[in-house]
Amino acid sequence: MHLALFDLDNTLLAGDSDYEWTQHLVSKGVLDRDTFERKNTEFFEQYKAGTLNIHEFLDFQLQSLANNPRASLDAWHAEFMATCIRPIISRQSRTLVQRHLDNGDLCAIVTATNSFVTGPIAREFGIPHLIATIPAQQGGQFTGKPRGTPAFREGKVSRVEEWLETMGLWWGSFERSWFYSDSLNDLPLLSQVSDPIAVDPDITLRTHAERAGWTILNLHL
């Protein structure tokens, strides 16, 4: 049995779905351009630098879910998929995922981006499992807070292990395991698998991958 795990943003996608979701809502006038565009860019730069405080970010990012009716969010997300997401899915990304699926590997996306934004993207790829940050709900409406451990840095490892345990599995259940990621933030999970793959990596991850002899893969060049 083999395990294939995929980061989403700037790995399977040639862009960041969290960032693009906020920009999409700004473009529709749902969010204030000056406030949200500035904060969105600020948090994105922190993420790339490896200095992001995930709880501060989620307090910001989940506001848009809490402050709008679910029916409106669903309609905006359908537009978002068509205009922002499908154009940044490369043929190479689709081929990579399909190869693992065709091989019968257990496949999952593991992403810090919340499951409302990423659920339809996982379905677009045909990936059956999604391990994402979960936005809490009450009475069918989002509260603006996360539920449980965010799937970020070491949290990705613990969330994957919890998911495997629900199936009676652990790391040793797999002959081979892959994790594909672009970011230094994913070093904890990359270090857990037998085959870590750096995808169009940032400079810090590229340096680490080269020193460790990890495979470096270009999907978006």
Q: pLDDT-derived band of residue 50, with 50, 70 and 90 as boundaries?
A: confident
The catalytic residue among 7, 16, 105, 202 is: 7
CATH architecture of 2-217: 3-Layer(aba) Sandwich (3.40)
Q: Is 182 a catalytic residue?
A: no
Predicted confidence at residue 8, as pLDDT, reads 98
Contact 189, 110 (CB under 8 A): yes
- Asked about 102 being catalytic, the answer comes back as no
For 132, other C-beta atoms within 10 Å of its C-beta total: 23
How confident is the model at residue 37, as a pLDDT?
Answer: 80
Closest C-alpha to 18, from 77, 97, 100:
77
Query: Which of the following is catalytic: 9, 16, 182, 202?
Result: 9
Q: Determine the Cα–Cα distance for residues 29 and 192; give it in Å rounded to an integer.
A: 42
Chain centroid to Cα 89, Å, comes to 14
| pLDDT at residue 188, as a whole number | 97
Residue range 189-216: average pLDDT? 96
**This prediction's pTM:** 0.96
The alpha carbon of residue 168 and the mean position of all alpha carbons in its chain are separated, in whole angstroms, by 24
